[in-house]
Structure 1
């Protein structure tokens, strides 16, 4: 008997040492035990008092989880507001030695500060999402709008894997005889990467008719901006001469070479391959060079980043350059329809409904010489 009393005393001491409120409610809704923390928190309490009256209420709770615990024999949880504080309440059945449920034990934890903190986090998260939405609109507003289509037609597809992307492209009129186009892939994703795309858009020399000179200036401007050593941008930049029907291009580390081809001539195919270091602070004086190729009527030039090529199916196979080229070489429709065909083939290959499920940015552009 003394041993049982010692055990009971030890259990009561443990429960009374808890910071959480603990009480036991019998089948008649009367409080038959209350720990020290709850007694001090409520102050004016009486043993055998109805459980809801102990909380300062005149009627039973609509969602009485202790009643549920007693009659269903399982634990239940809810939140309650007591004296202006928010509590998480867990009620579990209490059984006697015969296994009969005779009461319910409630553990009430004060989560007021946690709840307020959660609300602040949600508020800050909403503000962040609003800011990201504005930033995404800004980034999208920097994408190419339109070009005079008397001599060229173009289409592009841009899809960031996050709200803000690290890929970027621009197509613009330099003067009445020249069109510039560049495609870029920035290290990383999200906000830091998007800021680099904004830098690229604002810093690249849109009047210089030498792509290599424009990239050299861009490299110098990048190094003057004190970016981290780990940050870099790969850029392929081309200028189309519409008077003399030539394309001049240079490369700053972009690993996917654009393709020059003609849907009407199976023999007309060339990779616009040329070396060059990414826009970074890795070297003091990088060397960029120009290459030039003559254009013919209905020639097309396809630009992309590695996202579409590295898109994988469930077997781990990549969409790859062969599948990509098979589409662009055999589809003779307008550039917009050709890119739509690529998107359709890629989503079927990867067995996805749309590009929302991919883990990399996907950017493509297709230019066609009309005359």
Structure 2
């Protein structure tokens, strides 16, 4: 037996199944003998209609060898039928025609045929050229199926990660005297944005919004680290800036060098209506107060996961504000204000501030929806970063 160069040894364990479609019984048997010689399984059909029946009976076909000139249904009609069926269209086709009919072969190749050969076949064609074409086609098919299975597995894992990430987000937020509305829009199914509200004591509620660089599974894993650590640090230190610096130390130890985080952390005391808060590289909260324009509260600050906490650049400050009845606080991640439209213009913090200010008479949930709707209208297509929006009405 000829030792075919490039022959895939896996085919010996799992031989490919080839469908030979030709109206000539002699050609079918000749090709069948060649295929069996190299260990392939063979199914035959005398025209395109019979090939369709064969594919229905044996959907695990790896390759189709197709004559172009046949009765009942010719090769071109079969290729047209195949083009309208995605699963069949993924099976490679090697077409055959007479030596002087290259126009027909050109048309067949334009109809998504993988390769061709001309008849009559020489002895070398039978022993080397055709088997090599078949090997390459089958290997391509196997690689495609393997890639598809890997993609399906990856998509499943991403779906499971996205479902798991939903458990990171708050449920049924209940803060005394506060109405809360929020929305999270991951750009890839799994995102790195995280926010939460949690009871620190009977008189204190912790809140955090964080944005991990990048998006996807790695970012979501970093968000789980934040969820595990930041409530404990806020409970211990009470001061949000100290909690963020403690988180910074852990991020430097637990995450890769190219991962960084921006964050807002706050402690709200309902009894005294006081909010103490700090940011680390995070967009400023927006405060809307009755009879006053909506305004930004924060200043620039360093990000987490980049510098050591004892570095001179890592200066985080706590701010305290007295919350008045009717105050509205909007927290968000930079995916909102940095979203771009088709003209490459960013949504921008000024646009967001104006929306918050103009929504003074709008209910909490309605304002959140209004911001989301304006964002999608502005972008006019997919959003390229995770977006988190939180509206708190006091």
Normalising by structure 2, we get a TM-score of 0.69
Aligned to 1:261: 288
Give me the whole-angstrom Cα distance separating, in 2, the residues matched to 1:249 and 1:123: 47
Is 1:296 the counterpart of 2:324? The answer is yes
Bigger share in helix:
2
Indicate the residue corresponding to 1:211 in structure 2: 240
1:283 aligns with: 308
Mind listing any 5+ residue stretches in structure 1 that lack a counterpart?
A: 1-15, 20-24, 45-54, 79-86
Per the alignment, residue 47 of structure 1 pairs with none
Q: Paired residue for 1:93? A: 97
CA-based RMSD: 3.7
State the structure with more CA Rg. 1
Q: How many residues align?
A: 320
Rounded to whole Å, the distance in 2 between the matches of 1:18 and 1:188 is: 41
Q: How many Å separate the matches in 1 of 2:6 and 2:317?
A: 74
User: 2:268, 2:93 → 1: CA distance?
Assistant: 70
Q: TM-score, normalised by structure 1?
A: 0.73
1:162 pairs with 180, 183, 188, which one? 188
Aligned to 2:292, what secondary structure does the other structure show? strand
Alignment partners' CA distance in 1, 2:193 and 2:323: 27
1:301 shift after superposition: 0.8
Q: 1:75 to 1:291 in 2, by over 3 A?
A: same
CA distance in structure 1 between the partners assigned to 2:220 and 2:191 by the alignment: 6
In structure 1, how many angstroms separate the alpha carbons of the residues matched to 2:324 and 2:338?
31
Q: Which residue of 2 aligns with 1:172?
A: 198
Match of 2:67 in 1: 66
Match of 1:333 in 2: 362
CA gap of 1:57–1:198, structure 2 versus 1, over 3 A, is closer
1:272 counterpart residue number = 297
Q: Alignment partner of 1:257: what SS?
A: coil
From the superposition, tell whether residues 117 and 93 of structure 1 become closer, same or farther in structure 2 (CA, over 3 Å). Answer: closer
Residue number in structure 2 paired with 1:142: 168
Question: Which residue number in structure 1 is paired with residue 347 of structure 2?
Answer: 319
Structure-2 residue corresponding to 1:343: 372
For residue 31 of structure 1, what is the aligned residue in structure 2? 27
How far does residue 43 in structure 1 lie from its aligned partner after superposition? 5.5
CA contact (8 A) 2:47 2:74 kept: no
Deviation, 1:257, is 0.5
Q: Classify 1:324/1:30 alpha carbon distance in 2 versus 1 (closer, same or farther; 3 Å).
A: same
- SS of 2:246's partner is helix
> 1:222, CA displacement in angstroms?
2.1
CA contact (8 A) 2:209 2:332 kept: yes
* Structure 1 residues 149 and 17, CA gap change in structure 2 (3 angstroms): closer
Are the aligned partners of 1:88 and 1:109 in contact in 2 as well (CA < 8 Å)? no
